[in-house]
Chain A
Amino acid sequence: MRSPILGLGARFLLPLFLISSLYILLRGHNAPGGGFIGGLIAALGFAILIFAEGTAAARRALKIEPRNLGGIGLLCALLAGFGAAPSGGAPFQGLWLALPVLPLSTVLLFDIGVYFAVLGGVLTLIFALEEGGDA
């Protein structure tokens, strides 16, 4: 049964979940949080949309195949892992780009990779379950 209240709620909740997931992701650099939990929160937002409007609507909102999202995430994380290799660093050693205000680093890239890998992985699972295992 499709509930209009849940459907309307999901449209408001999804952006809220996504924004808070980004906040948790970035906050995780120096405080509790990070890519894993951020990715889970983002996946929750889409899960609510799936329950309210079905998988087709969620796929439209996501715009990208969840498995590709997971692959991109895994690649980002691996890229961060190999980032220090050319300069003779250790695996997963952090490299910082010296910018005055914004401390960009491979550590952040790794966390973003984890974020997408978790989001893609969880959504792949949920889509497979919702669409009867024939994703």
Chain B
Amino acid sequence: MSWIVALPILTPFIGAAACLFLRNRRGSGWISVLTALVSLGLALRLLVTVMENGVIAGQVSAWPAPFGITLVADYLSAAMVLITAIIGLATALWAMAEIGPTSARLGWFVLFQTLLGGVTGAFLTGDLFNLYVWFEVLLISSFGLLAIGGSRKATDGAVKYVTLNLIATAFFLSAAGLTYGATGTLNMADLHRAVAEHPDQGLMTVIAMLFMLAFGMKAAVFPLFFWLPASYHTPHYAVSALFAGLLTKVGVYALIRVFTLIFTHDQGWTHEILLWCACLTMLTGVLGAAAQSDFRKILSFHIVSQIGYMVLGLALMTPLALTGAVFYILHHIIVKANLFLVAGVSRRLTGGSELAQIGGLYRAAPFLALLFLIPAFSLAGFPPLSGFWAKFLLVKASLDAQEWLVAGIALVVGLLTIFSMTKIWAAAFWKPHPGGYEPVLTQLSLRARALMLGPMAALALMTLVIGLMPQPFLSFATRAAGQLLDPAAYIHAVLGDKQ
């Protein structure tokens, strides 16, 4: 079993090693795609195994839990690994049309693979300190990817990003240290018992708050979101798409894992704070987006607002709400990455990302317009797209919990999202290009069009499939939420009978 869980993490690093030796752009680009394909196959195998056998765990180096590093895959982890592989493959293909020879020589594809490996590791680890290590891997590779853009603006964004994330990581490390000092274990399954049995419950709540701060900063939750809009609009578009899809979701995943498995002892305090943070995150994100006029900046603020919905699902902690949160994460990663890829193609065709300076895309590329419309309206929650079901679940869950205000905020934020999306639509697609020239799709070579539009169409198709046939995805999310609310299977898979 341990290899099935470990291989999805190891594969990207094999790809990274191969890319280190191959400096040329084409070679490392194809190795990247090949690695992403293998990762996708392994992620599918992991998901099938989990669906057949329930939670599976592997012990690295064969050290028994809770002493060694445990890798665990439950429904949520396996689904996150699969979606990481999907986004990895889509951006690997897309990046071949964007990444230039200089970036490739500086190691763009190496960092790309280590980032994917880090994300996968964070989703699969069952050990808090190991999670910290994966966060470091993520931070180093994402810093490199941000900086490789090379421009002054990119370096500025990268420095802000890395400073604020280092602070979050320092909080995480101190919280992990305190946890180990207080309970003597860092194995998540073992902590479930250790935290509940600890005599000083107040101390446990303090540690829980430190974790909330650290993961909240990573997830870009209000009031710790400001690093995200400051840095996501500067690097290569493939990097933006990858970050937008996956990085903040690692923070959300860590929040969900820690606050369903470990710190559930004082929900009146911790989850109430999460609830308020979720509402404020939704609101500030969407209002911030309304004030922006740059394609990527608008999308960046919308990431913040959407994170609010996911945290809302965790904060309510009912089966339906957690189902909504899981569904929301899966739908959102696909949609958001795709929107950033659309922004990238729009930039290539119109020469800018400032909405006032671009336009004419609808006439130039109606197909691109369609590829924007599907994720954009899905993000806003239009039926029958995937975002509608995600929002519907969460609003219903808040109404069931009699949180009328929360439900109201969730609905208003959806409405305001439409405002931003129509703003982009009107400015970039409908209005003629202010520069007086007409962008045409044939500006891109046939190869670039295939590499860019192909993955985008595939992602849009997935959004449509989730939207039109939500039932299998919904029942999957329900079972994932069930595992989160009742961690007995998780703990048994890790510790066996010796708990």
Contact with B along A56-70 (1 / 0, CB 8 A): 000000000001101
| Interface residue stretch chosen among B55-63, B180-188, B338-346, B435-443 | B55-63
Q: Chain A: which residue is nearest B20 at the CB level?
A: A71
| B20 with A90: CB separation less than 8 A | no
The size bracket of the interface on B is 20 to 34
| B106 with A133: CB separation less than 8 A | yes
> Is B48 in contact with chain A by the CB < 8 A criterion?
no
> Chain A contacts of B206 at CB under 8 A?
none
| B10 with A78: CB separation less than 8 A | yes
| A91 with B13: CB separation less than 8 A | no
- Cα-based distance from A93 to B62 in the complex (angstroms): 6
Which A residues, 83 to 135, have Cβ-Cβ distances below 8 Å to chain B?
84-85, 89-94, 124, 128, 133-135
| B107 with A67: CB separation less than 8 A | yes
Which B residues, 443 to 483, have Cβ-Cβ distances below 8 Å to chain A?
none
CB distance from A75 to the nearest CB of B (A): 5
Q: Chain B: which residue is nearest A74 at the CB level?
A: B17
| B62 with A133: CB separation less than 8 A | no
| A75 with B17: CB separation less than 8 A | yes
| A135 with B6: CB separation less than 8 A | no
Q: How many residues of A contact B (CB 8 A)?
A: 22
| A67 with B61: CB separation less than 8 A | no
Given A74-B13, A78-B13, A91:B6 Cβ within 8 A? yes
- Cα-based distance from A134 to B100 in the complex (angstroms): 13
Q: Chain B: which residue is nearest A110 at the CB level?
A: B61
| B20 with A70: CB separation less than 8 A | yes
- Cα-based distance from A51 to B3 in the complex (angstroms): 45
> Is A54 in contact with chain B by the CB < 8 A criterion?
no
> Is A33 in contact with chain B by the CB < 8 A criterion?
no
CB<8 Å pairs between A and B, sample of 23: A67-B20, A67-B21, A67-B107, A68-B20, A71-B17, A71-B18, A71-B20, A75-B17, A78-B17, A89-B62, A90-B3, A90-B58, A90-B59, A90-B62, A91-B2, A91-B6, A91-B10, A91-B61, A92-B6, A133-B106, A133-B150, A135-B105, A135-B106
